[in-house]
Structure 1
């Protein structure tokens, strides 16, 4: 396999959609696990280290059950690690605080629908992840006082497992005209702790937004320490984004993470 993501995307496009062979391939964005390109209205997402064939099958299985658009697969090239789908409208919410006020209810509804999917129907498409919350502290970097708070407040593992996006941060939620126009990047989706899907929403949009999402979801169980895990995972995810933004000079991640620390670690401020 050609190791250059752009070349992999270009070659895959020429193979699967030859009518677009002459169209310029421009980079859309890059993360830890994927690099996305755009050619003629087609997103070409090049993966690093995970199965795009599995993700394509998962997207097909999820789409009929949720009220928010997800990528509709145009083609998948497992050998090249390329997943292609028509560009969804809207822009990511990362760094756009003013765009979120009406989105809590549809996101709560989305999570209710997603978590209600029978996990047996995605067997082989979404891995079962049984990670202990304490494992999130491995190699986690950040201010010592915040790391101490995390070490002193490790919640018990979840007893319930659901199909979860597991990386539902602002960068993966598209919005236009006050409506959610898509949720992208399902490469981390797994049958896992439902708290993960609330945690990054809490991290990115704050406690009032989290409460509105939970209410639209139908509430959370009073047992199973789910609220404690939401807070714990949100805190870990904020420190992860802070380190990522600084290391890769991604100021949008750094600013968002720094802003969230005030409500995630109030005793420090």
Structure 2
């Protein structure tokens, strides 16, 4: 069983009003350590990462995410979000040594009910699920409050060729690299990076890993039950959130998702996101994010075989 520090463990027990009897750890995320406590609570701590090349520390933001969750909660009827305890931002995350640097606070919240989903459920048989996703994305993208600290370029900085492109050089063969360079230069010239659009609030990682299905009998079609982890929220092209879904979804599933989104967002806002280029922008966002994951992994020691395979296959003639 994963052991919390004495200070943090005592704090958690005081918050949940019970002794810690069981912990399960999920260390697979980019920037957060997720600990399930007593099968009833989730403690999410930012990883105190260091840039492997410059030793510069990097830490996740929690206060920003908390504000976004509070704003979105009333807008997502029937879909649960994490509800962190008010004291989450004051938890003693640092080790017990007084001299240790204190990282950004994490979040402690009741575990959300639901089942994990897989890309295999983005099929044309599950159209109610598609409509759920469209409604929720419309609510997120239609949220207008100003959140201080939101960034426009969460996946590497704004200079693609300086920040991310060197990683592509290391990943691809000479033939594939030529295809990739042509693709990204053409995409930027055509505005597929979305910089000409008015950015909206995006979840930033709206894929299967952060979506829970409602628990139901095996004969029931899947329905969206909860959305997790808003730590990658940003101001970006809505295509960023569509990309993890539409590139995996069946054709009719994708059509229903977008029809639901359009209905709940409204026609004016729908036309403003330039739907004619949406699928091309989704492809750009998917490829750019895969490259970011590889860049991030090189900096902080995170590895994603799936991102590596997807990025390489994107520029393979096979």
TM-score range, shorter chain: 0.7 to 0.9
Q: What root-mean-square deviation, in Å, do the aligned CA atoms of Structure 1 and Structure 2 show?
A: 3.5
Is 1:143 aligned with 2:172? yes
Q: 1:129 to 1:242 in 2, by over 3 A?
A: closer
Contact between 2:34 and 2:45, CA under 8 Å: does it hold in 1? yes
Name the CA distance, whole Å, in 1 between partners of 2:253 and 2:60. Answer: 32
Q: Which residue in the other structure is 2:239 paired with?
A: 195
Q: Which residue in the other structure is 2:282 paired with?
A: 230
Is 1:77 aligned with 2:89? yes
TM-score, normalisation: structure 1: 0.77
Name the CA distance, whole Å, in 1 between partners of 2:109 and 2:166. Answer: 35
Is 1:116 aligned with 2:128? no
Is 1:105 aligned with 2:131? yes
Q: Offset of 1:222 from its aligned partner?
A: 3.4
Moved over 6 A (4+): 242-247, 259-262
Contact between 2:23 and 2:36, CA under 8 Å: does it hold in 1? yes
Q: Offset of 1:186 from its aligned partner?
A: 0.3
Q: Offset of 1:209 from its aligned partner?
A: 4.2
Q: Which residue in the other structure is 2:201 paired with?
A: 163
Name the CA distance, whole Å, in 2 between partners of 1:55 and 1:61. Answer: 10
Q: 1:163 to 1:97 in 2, by over 3 A?
A: closer
Name the CA distance, whole Å, in 2 between partners of 1:257 and 1:91. Answer: 27
Q: 1:268 to 1:38 in 2, by over 3 A?
A: same
User: How many residues are matched?
Assistant: 255
- Consecutive unaligned residues of structure 2, counting only runs of 5 or more, are 48-58, 94-104, 217-221, 263-269
Name the CA distance, whole Å, in 1 between partners of 2:3 and 2:186. Answer: 40
Q: 1:89 to 1:54 in 2, by over 3 A?
A: same
Contact between 1:5 and 1:46, CA under 8 Å: does it hold in 2? no
Task: After TM superposition, list the pairs within 5 Å mapping 1:170-181 onto structure 2.
Answer: 170-176=208-214, 177=216, 178-181=222-225
Q: Offset of 1:139 from its aligned partner?
A: 4.4
Contact between 1:9 and 1:44, CA under 8 Å: does it hold in 2? no
Q: Offset of 1:62 from its aligned partner?
A: 0.8
Contact between 2:187 and 2:284, CA under 8 Å: does it hold in 1? yes
- Consecutive unaligned residues of structure 1, counting only runs of 5 or more, are none
Contact between 1:203 and 1:238, CA under 8 Å: does it hold in 2? no
**Match for 2:63 among 42, 46, 53?**
53
1:78-109 Cα offsets, whole Å, 9 max, x none, are 4522201111122333xx23323322211111
Name the CA distance, whole Å, in 2 between partners of 1:28 and 1:35. Answer: 6
Task: After TM superposition, list the pairs within 5 Å mapping 1:256-267 onto structure 2.
Answer: 258=309
Q: Which residue in the other structure is 1:62 paired with?
A: 72
Q: With CA pairs under 8 Å and 6+ residues apart, which has the higher RCO, 1 or 2?
A: 2
Higher Rg: 2
Task: After TM superposition, list the pairs within 5 Å mapping 1:31-46 onto structure 2.
Answer: 31-40=29-38, 41-46=40-45
TM-score, normalisation: structure 2: 0.66
Q: Which residue in the other structure is 2:56 paired with?
A: none
